[in-house]
Structures are given as C-alpha cells and as structure tokens.
Amino acid sequence: MQIFYTFILLFSFWLLLSGKFDAFHLTLGLLSSLLVSFMSADLLFHDQGKSDSRRCRELWRFILYLPWLCKEIIVSTVHVAYLALHPGMRKLLEPQVIRFHTRIKSEIGQVVFANSITLTPGTITIQVEDGEFIVHALNSKFAEGLPGEMEERLLRIFGEVE
C-alpha cells in the first residue's frame, strides 16, 4: 500500500514537472516512478506502525493548522519590521534563552513544533534534544508565551494515542 501511495505522489509530480502528456513521456514517467517507489517507499512512510486512517486524520488536521500558522507568520513579519524600523529598538529588546520540555512525543510532531516556533513572532528554536527545547526569545513577553497555544494545537494533531 505504501508503494502505491508513493507511486501516486511521484507520478503526479512527474506530470507536473514534465507538462507533456503524450504516450512516450507518460510511459517514461510511469516506469521511473514505479521503479523509484519500489526502491524507496519506506523512506517516505517512515513509521510503518501507523494505520492509513490515522495518517489521513493527521494530514487533514495538519492542513487545518496551516492557516493559523500563516497568520502567525504575517504577524511575525510585521513584528520584526516594527522592531527593525523602531528608533529605540534596543530598549524594546530583552533577549533571553529559555529551556522547556514538550509533551509532544512523535518525532515529526517535534519537528513541526520547532519549525513553527521559529516562524512565530519573537521566538526562534536553537536546539531540540530528547524533547527538550532550547529557545531564544526577543523579550520576556514572548518567552512566557511558550510552549502555550501552539503546543496544544500540535498535541491535537500528532498526540493521538496508538
């Protein structure tokens, strides 16, 4: 089944990139995506233990999470612009390094969490090790906001018990 999913993904990618729909190019794409999906399906679907329905639910909830992340990115860009152009910028900054443990267990969840922290205003992930996050925050207001709402949201996406 994993081979089939990988094949569908690769073949649609081929169609997209080639943009040619004649028999010759379609056959080439079909053959090469079949070959690659046979060789490397287990790279894309790393965690073999998950059921298909769970994968779909996670993907769907992750898609629902994206609009919120986009909003946060816009807020954070405006915030950086505000700080950069503010004449008394150094007064507003109070950088600090904080550490905390996350309740997110799955690896992919932690990766998404780290990237989301980096993209949201005022905070940037320095390191993640065994669930311990080291985060650099621009001032204490942002430091207090962690882990906070984002972790709750990601727990709802990736925190499903087997």
Binding site for other proteins (CB under 8 A): 16-17, 19, 73-74, 76-77, 80-81, 83-85, 89-90, 93-97, 114-115, 118-119, 121-122, 124-127, 134, 136, 138
CB of 102 to other proteins, least distance (A): 15
Nearer to other proteins, 41 or 83 (CB): 83
Report CA dihedral (94, 100, 104, 106) to the nearest 10 degrees. 100
CB 14 within 8 A of CB 33: yes
Q: How far apart are CA 133 and CA 104, in angstroms?
A: 11
CB of 114 to other proteins, least distance (A): 7
CB of 32 to other proteins, least distance (A): 19
Q: How far apart are CA 32 and CA 4, in angstroms?
A: 14
CB of 14 to other proteins, least distance (A): 12
The pair of structure tokens assigned to 89 is 């910028």
Nearer to other proteins, 3 or 62 (CB): 62
CB of 5 to other proteins, least distance (A): 18
Nearer to other proteins, 56 or 70 (CB): 70
Nearer to other proteins, 3 or 98 (CB): 98
CA distances from 94 to 91, 141, 159 (A): 8, 9, 33
The strands making up 132-137's β-sheet, listed across from edge to edge, are 96-101, 132-137, 123-129
